[in-house]
Structure 1
Amino acid sequence: MYKKLIGLTAFVLIIKVAQAQFTQLPVIPATVYNVNDYGAVADNKTVNTRAIQKALDAAKATGGTVLIPAGDYLCGPLNLYSKTNLQIAKGATLRLRNDMDGFPAANGRYLNFINVAKATDIKISGGGTIDGQGEVWWKATEAKSLTLRRPQMLYMEGAQRVEISGVTFLNPPNTHISLKNALDVYIHDIVIQAPTTSHNTDGINISAKNCTIEHCTINTGDDNIAINFGNKEQAENDPEVKNIVVKDCAFGYGHGLSIGSFTSGHLNNLLVSNCTFDGTTSAIRIKTARGRGGVLSNVTYEGITIKNSRYPIFISEYYPHEPKTPQEDVATAIGDHNPVYKNISLKNITVTNSQEALIIWGIPESPVQHIRLENVKISAKNGAQIYNVTNAEFINSSIEAASGEKLRVYRAGVTGLN
């Protein structure tokens, strides 16, 4: 075993994470299109796909608000266009039909419930509910009877100026909210909920530039939030994901706030602040692997409380599995898509009643670079593991382990922790 603790007096970690957020909110014309005027019936029996799509098509020409008034509306896949606000009023529920026979499909998957493609000025708002009625899809997944991919609840690709607010999202067949290659996104004051046993029901799956997510409550069967950036053609100086803020959110069960596992598009500037994690399998989670990695830099977590988590802080360049011991893996030639993690800051973080204190595990040829932990207090069953890390600096921090070694180190420079 190669083990060393080196002084880092010359190492000063400076992370400049902008208080980045959307630069412009969507602009929606004042016209209102009430779906009832287009024949929608709120009885949870009538399939209203055609009527609601007529309202959306009418709004396509001029823009405006498509109103789902109070009531229970059963519906199939919909297309949403630029300059449109889909408003789910308080007391309204928009439900995805839960019969798979004849469910529309294309390109190897069932169509998403609400689909947005290359649109600008998009809003999903109101105090109502969108229910994916996903149980039938989860059971079919368990039975391995599906031949196509399940629909996502809300899918946007190439959208610009997006706001999602006020709505409760429930039980999707697949991901609740997915935004790919988005620009200027504001998600706030929403609730996302699916059973812990539901399959692949990520809360928010996102790649974006200029995004704020705040005041959200997320409990789900997979990642609470997943930040993915897998465009292998993206240049490092033009990262696929940059300027993201996640703040004042409450995460319950789920797999935590994850970065990866696809990171080849590069990420720069992420701030996660004033969030709570209670019962998440993991909380702060960064994951990727050789062949799907990219540069991840300037990432800050601050003011975080983590309770009852198995892996509260999990940073790994192996996915889905680490070797049994760090000695088992040896450096390989640095490939085009090896992961690079650098300039990561964790500040004012409290971890209690967790199984693993801390895991930071780089690959030998591309160790984790420059990670700073300040005022981090961890209480867990097992101690910390820090493997293949160039500079790990602890300041006013502590790790309490109920059993075994408090700290295991391999090919890592660690200071400030006894």
Structure 2
Amino acid sequence: LPNIPDRTFNLADYGAVGDAHTLNPAAFTRAIAAVKAAGGGRLVVPAGVFITAPFVLCSNLDLHLVAGAVIKAPETFAELGLPDPTSFKTQAEANAAYNVPDPLITGSKLHDVALTGPGTIDGSGAHWWAWSERAARNVAKTQPGRVVYRRPHLVVINGCDRLLVSQLTFTNSSMFHLVPKNINDLTIERVKVRAPWDGSAPNTDAIDPGPGTNFWIHHCDIDTGDDDIVIKSGGTRVLIEDNTIRHGHGISIGSETTAGIHGMLVRRCTFEDTDTGIRIKSMRGAGGLVENVRYTEITMKNVATAITLQLDYVDNNRPDFKGDPTKIPAIRHILIDRVTIEGSRNAGLIHGLPDSPITDITLRDITLTAEKDFDLKDATSPTFERVTRTIKPGVGPKKITGEH
């Protein structure tokens, strides 16, 4: 865990106003500079709604949000100094005039950082979602050439030794919520993430760590419309346990697996009303080796596709993606055991590639009810041990989940 000096600073002492109107980036910057100058400490965000543009963290810092404290992104493009997207007639015109903003909270090349407390970090994403790739596709027939605004993530920490995220609620990011990249010793615990799951809030991934080493993600409660917990790019020694996943795409690996995944255990997790449950996805051009992964003591209810191991994944936002032709994905040494699946549409999909079949896959002690059985392709003799399958029409999810 991070080593934070025993000093306390209060954001209000640096001019911050939590009235849900005042913009506070200068106050955050002054307060964090004071923490840094003192050699580190806890910066307390008091109760109130603190609107702010992006700000940057420092090492030896615990950003602590008390109960009732909200750090919130502006709700309009103008408050971020961005042009109104309706002012552009073409995508090229928009691209020339617009750079994607920084995430609301960022930090890089740090050590000993914590984001803690029962408060909330709110991305105010609704005005961004209306100008997403999905929104443009949805109106392509009536509004051809509609402009797309590239969206920022909510919190991105890129490069940190010892990062703790504890108790916070993250909500309504314009895109991914929490992105810890290049982290050694990451703990995410008792966190809530919330975003609409009805298709109106695209790409609102909850927790997207990787690459890095020693990840522990536990006792989180996640309800979004996209990946709930997903290891992207790579990771070594990953433990994900005791989480509740309510909507979205489950606990996943990929689709970017170039750095490889070596050693991941997912246990005692519950999935309710998700599009997918267990999911490892990659594609030619963005692949690496995924190996030594175990999912155990898993319960699923109303999950559309329970188990997915897929090397022929297609990204709807990049359907023509080619990538690096030398980056061929591979999956091997996977154990899925002690799983109960109730009311799925599809038991699972296991798809390798002709030149990279999925190997050494074992499914053991699984009880499932689903409308369709497993779909297998380019998988070398997957092992099914004590797998009880009830396949019949009409047993699938009773609720409509968000867009895949």
TM-score, normalised to structure 2, is 0.85
Who is 1:71 aligned against?
Answer: 48
Who is 2:99 aligned against?
Answer: 108
Stretch of structure 1 that moved more, 284-293 or 102-111: 102-111
Who is 2:193 aligned against?
Answer: 192
Structure 1 unaligned spans of 5+:
1-24, 230-239, 323-333, 405-418
CA displacement, residues 77-104 of structure 1 (integer Å, 9 cap, x when unaligned) = 1100100010011111111111212526
Equivalences for residues 207-356 of structure 1 within 5 A: 207=210, 208-229=212-233, 240-320=234-314, 336-356=326-346
* In the alignment, structure 1 residue 41 sits paired with structure 2 residue 17: yes
Distance 1:312 1:101 in 2: 43
Who is 2:94 aligned against?
Answer: none
- CA distance 1:199–1:35, change in 2 (3 Å): same
CA displacement, residues 259-315 of structure 1 (integer Å, 9 cap, x when unaligned) = 111111111000000000101100101111112111110000000011111111011
Deviation at 1:108, TM superposition (A): 3.2
8 Å Cα contact 1:158-1:181 kept in structure 2: yes
8 Å Cα contact 2:131-2:149 kept in structure 1: no
Equivalences for residues 17-28 of structure 1 within 5 A: 25-28=1-4
Distance 1:383 1:39 in 2: 60
Distance 1:104 1:213 in 2: 36
8 Å Cα contact 1:108-1:148 kept in structure 2: no
Distance 2:350 2:152 in 1: 35
8 Å Cα contact 1:355-1:382 kept in structure 2: yes
Deviation at 1:150, TM superposition (A): 1.3
Deviation at 1:336, TM superposition (A): 2.5
Distance 1:149 1:396 in 2: 47
Who is 2:35 aligned against?
Answer: 59
Distance 1:180 1:369 in 2: 29
Identity of aligned residues (%): 34
Deviation at 1:140, TM superposition (A): 2.6
Distance 1:26 1:145 in 2: 46
- CA distance 1:146–1:31, change in 2 (3 Å): farther
Who is 1:174 aligned against?
Answer: 175
Distance 2:229 2:246 in 1: 11
Q: Which segments of structure 1 move beyond 3 Å, counting only runs of 4 or more?
A: 104-108, 143-148
Stretch of structure 1 that moved more, 250-259 or 105-114: 105-114
Distance 1:128 1:100 in 2: 25
Stretch of structure 1 that moved more, 183-192 or 150-159: 150-159
- CA distance 1:134–1:146, change in 2 (3 Å): farther
Deviation at 1:149, TM superposition (A): 2.2
Distance 2:26 2:169 in 1: 23
Higher RCO (C-alpha 8 Å, min separation 6): 1
Deviation at 1:145, TM superposition (A): 6.3
Number of equivalences: 359
Deviation at 1:335, TM superposition (A): 5.6
* In the alignment, structure 1 residue 376 sits paired with structure 2 residue 353: no
Distance 1:321 1:102 in 2: 32
8 Å Cα contact 2:227-2:248 kept in structure 1: yes
Structure 2 unaligned spans of 5+:
83-96, 137-144, 317-323, 395-404
1:99 to 68, 72, 76: 76
Letter in 1 for 2:202: H
Deviation at 1:385, TM superposition (A): 1.4
8 Å Cα contact 1:104-1:110 kept in structure 2: no
- CA distance 1:59–1:107, change in 2 (3 Å): farther
Stretch of structure 1 that moved more, 343-352 or 91-100: 91-100
Who is 1:140 aligned against?
Answer: 131
Distance 1:33 1:321 in 2: 45
SS in structure 2 at match of 1:254:
coil
